[in-house]
Amino acid sequence: MAAVVTLSSENFDAVVSSAELMIIDFYADWCGPCRRFAPLFDRAADRHGDIGFGKVDIEAQPELKERFEITGVPTLVVMRGSAVVWRQWGAFSNQQLEQLIAQAKANDFPTAA
């Protein structure tokens, strides 16, 4: 069972570089869609222990918000090592999240972020 790692400017690079593949949820506590998506993200992390899952609270981590140019939440970012390979803003259904995970594992994205 994989745990979702809370990412901060202090641990971000070390955590992300330690995972071959990482899916990161940029969120805010005040965001309704973010709160609805959180349990789906947590359950996906439990089902897919072979990849990393992280969360960034944009209010608590403004440096990471700026670094990744987050303009809306929730935003999902897929990283391979230190490279962003995909990003999308907006809420995801469980089915969409599972499709994204399958694409990420297959490295099957039409274009880089």
d(CA 55, CA 67): 15
Query: Going along 8-72, which residue ranges are E strands?
Result: 21-27, 52-57
Catalytic residues: 31, 34
User: 98: which residues sit within 8 A by CB, 6+ positions away?
Assistant: 44
Give CA angle at 109 (74, 41), nearest 5°.
35
